[in-house]
Amino acid sequence: MTLWNDWNAKPDANGFLKQSSPIVEIYPDGTFSTNEESEGAEVTKEGTGIYRISNVCGYNTDMGWGVHGGISVPKDNNNLELIFVDDRVQPDGAIIIETFHRQHFHLPTRFQNWRLKSIDENGERVFYEDGEPCDIPEHCRLDVRVQMPKVKQREFQERMEGIKEK
């Protein structure tokens, strides 16, 4: 039996409990936070909806968050993802994540993801179009499960073993 606690699990951006490991939380403006295991990872925002995670070795390899390593994408009240994500791992291990608006045209109009982009010079609302590059929605974040360099993992494991012995 596995007991979940704050040492081995963490709520994702949608409140669902996920296996904890090196996680980087990315916010719309490119600010980020790391947990103890992902300390040293850095995020830079390179443009609208383009985020680079550096000082990592790609996605976590144990498939605890699925085959693709792990990005937890924000969802609405109907459990529909608010954005599309396109990602790629660079030869140096950095991860490039690009985000795009997701409209959900298959739904009735009132349930579609109408995200305000701006107000034009005539006072009219302008909404993002489906597939248009956009930042992570306000008050949301992406949770990304990364693979850290072995040195960092070894240091963390040694610290954890020291805590268990006490």
Q: What average pLDDT score do residues 58-76 get? A: 78
Tens-place pLDDT, residues 42-52 = 999 999 999 99
Rounded Cα distance between 57 and 70, Å, is: 13
What pLDDT is recorded for position 70?
81
Quickly state the pLDDT bin for 62 (edges 50, 70, 90).
confident
Predicted TM-score (pTM) of this structure: 0.79
Confidence check: pLDDT of 122 > 90: yes
Question: What is the C-alpha end-to-end distance of the chain, expressed in Å?
Answer: 24
Q: What average pLDDT score do residues 120-125 get? A: 97
Tell me what percent of the residues of the chain surpass a pLDDT of 90. 66
What pLDDT is recorded for position 21?
78
Rounded Cα distance between 47 and 44, Å, is: 9
Greater confidence (155 vs 89) lies with: 89
| Domain spans of the chain, in order of start | 21-165
Integer angstrom CA distances of residue 82 from 60, 94, 114? 24, 24, 10
What pLDDT is recorded for position 18?
55
